[in-house]
Amino acid sequence: MAIRPLRSHRRRWWLAFDESRQVERRVFVKAPPRTVWTALHSPAGMAALFPELTLGPADRAWPAAAAVRTGRARLGLLRQEATVESLEARPLTSFRFRVTGRLFASEWRFRLEPRAGGTRVVHDAVLQPGGRIADWMIRLRRGSLAERVEIHLRALKEIAETEWIDDVDTQRGSRLA
């Protein structure tokens, strides 16, 4: 006698995006890891880096592990109060944090790998909606999780490279004077 699984393995139309729940993307940034780390945590660049989050002020411990911030998340049509918790903060190496709301949970990780002439940034993300309606609201109007990750990386690359060029120009100007 064969035993059937409890759930059907047929893909439903609302679950057709299962492969997009976990994403990893990479980018090369022409700046050292210290500059990339600073750009990742600068309060001025936070709105550009994470356009889906509006964060409240950071306490003194941020970005240390176990530090918590509150804010508001905008994921597609879903608008919710959110809690952002730093899970891992290894300066110049990696930063991982969790963003949770009543109807979703998300985890983001940035790994910084020094390379000749710059830094390779690996960005992993996982997004788990709290149900079908939340999932539907998240997917509308804002694209996929992969698009969000690419937005984060483009903004980080632009901020870090601009900051690095400004630092190099300042150092050259001080040497010439």
pLDDT at 35 over 70: yes
Between 166 and 95, where is the model more confident? 95
Q: What is the pLDDT of residues 79-92, one digit of tens each?
A: 999 999 999 999 99
Mean pLDDT of 9-31: 66
Task: Report the C-alpha gap between 87 and 64 in whole angstroms.
Answer: 8
> Sorting pLDDT into bands at 50, 70 and 90, what band is 138?
confident
∠ CA 82-88-94, nearest 5°, is 115
- The H or E element containing residue 148 is helix 145-176
Under 8 Å CB-to-CB from 13, ≥6 apart: which residues?
Answer: none
pLDDT at 64 over 50: yes
Q: What is the pLDDT of residue 143?
A: 67
> Sorting pLDDT into bands at 50, 70 and 90, what band is 18?
very low
Q: What is the pLDDT of residues 67-115, one digit of tens each?
A: 999 999 998 888 999 999 999 999 999 999 999 999 999 999 999 999 9
> Sorting pLDDT into bands at 50, 70 and 90, what band is 142?
low
Mean pLDDT of the chain: 83
The widest CA-to-CA distance across the chain, in whole angstroms, is 87
